Amino acid sequence: MAYFAASVDTTEENTKFAQHVEADYPILGDPTKATATAYGVLGSFGVANRWTFYIGIDGKILHIEKSVKVSTAGPDVAAKLGELSIPKR
């Protein structure tokens, strides 16, 4: 299993954010917004919606969570992984 974040911010902004939150995962940059556009997450004013994509090892999207709550994101992701029968690390 792998997890990462993707952001339309610049590499410099992502690096500062990762350091600020002490992220233990990579944050991929998409400053051209091409990936955000391809995944349909680019919202108003060029800001990406905060969605979580669960992608199987075969590359197929298993679930898209469009109602992400920052305050409960960790437990919510863990619960969804359980529902999807993704083994724990």
Query: What length is written for the chain?
Result: 89
3: confidence class by pLDDT, cuts 50, 70, 90: confident
Spatial neighbors of 25 by CB under 8 A, at least 6 apart, are 3, 4, 5
Q: Which CATH number fits domain 5-83: 1.10.10.10, 3.40.50.10490, 3.40.30.10, 3.40.1160.10?
A: 3.40.30.10
CA nearest to 39, candidates 61, 56, 58, 23: 61
Stated pTM of the model? 0.82
What pLDDT was estimated at residue 1?
A: 73
Quick: pLDDT tens for 38-81. Answer: 999 998 888 999 999 999 989 999 999 999 998 998 899 999 99
Spatial neighbors of 13 by CB under 8 A, at least 6 apart, are 7
